[in-house]
Chains A and B, each alone.
Chain A
Amino acid sequence: AQSVSQHNHHVILSEAASLELGCNYSYGGTVNLFWYVQYPGQHLQLLLKYFSGDPLVKGIKGFEAEFIKSKFSFNLRKPSVQWSDTAEYFCAARGGYGGSQGNLIFGKGTKLSVKP
């Protein structure tokens, strides 16, 4: 079955530290990949997405993610985190290209706590 795995349940960093959150997916064919962020008490917001082309995707707030097809991975990175990045981060995937009605499969989320 299709699935998305996020290996880190809770990550604690100090401000200015670098961040990398792991995401692996299991889809056999074309895949669309997303990272969403949920700040405390808020709804999910899209950080970035990958559909095709350049495997290094830049999103909002200084986040980026790299699609590595051979590793079935789509890890989220940020060179220097801030206290305001404290949130829960969800990786999501959808099989198929563009217009298919395939639904998003979400990972279980990674909580990021940034210490000031």
Chain B
Amino acid sequence: NAGVTQTPKFQVLKTGQSMTLQCAQDMNHNSMYWYRQDPGMGLRLIYYSASEGTTDKGEVPNGYNVSRLNKREFSLRLESAAPSQTSVYFCASRVFPGPGQETQYFGPGTRLLVL
């Protein structure tokens, strides 16, 4: 079980370039999430997918798009990167076996620098 995996680990982009951050989980979880982490801001939710085939905006969706390709994979796309999108991006998946048993698992993160 690899858990939640993310690629790439690190990326440098120029302003205006596009890229896709990949996330996959092998735990058969229904829900998946994308967060960004900025110093002093904690984690903020960008987009989430409650189940395969559905996606919804989180707190800070502007400048991003997502695709829930299948149950395993949830990608985050930056169409035209901006310096304000310099951040560490975490993907997460959530299991809900029953009341009180929920756990959210995080990937190792992608560190993105936009010049």
Residues in chain A within 8 A of chain B (CB atoms): 6, 9, 32, 34, 36, 42-46, 49, 51-53, 90, 97-99, 101, 103-104, 106-109
* B58-A103 in contact (CB<8A): yes
Can you list 22 pairs linking A and B with CB atoms under 8 Å apart? Answer: A36-B106, A43-B90, A43-B106, A44-B43, A44-B90, A44-B92, A45-B106, A46-B104, A49-B103, A52-B99, A52-B100, A97-B99, A98-B99, A99-B96, A103-B33, A103-B58, A104-B45, A106-B35, A106-B42, A107-B42, A108-B40, A109-B40
Partner of B48, one of A36, A97, A103, A107: A103
B41 CB to nearest chain A CB (Å): 6
Task: Provide the residues of chain A in CB contact with B103, threshold 8 Å.
Answer: 46, 49
- Residues of B at the A interface (CB closer than 8 Å) are 4, 31, 33, 35, 40-45, 48, 50, 58, 90, 92, 96, 98-100, 102-104, 106-109
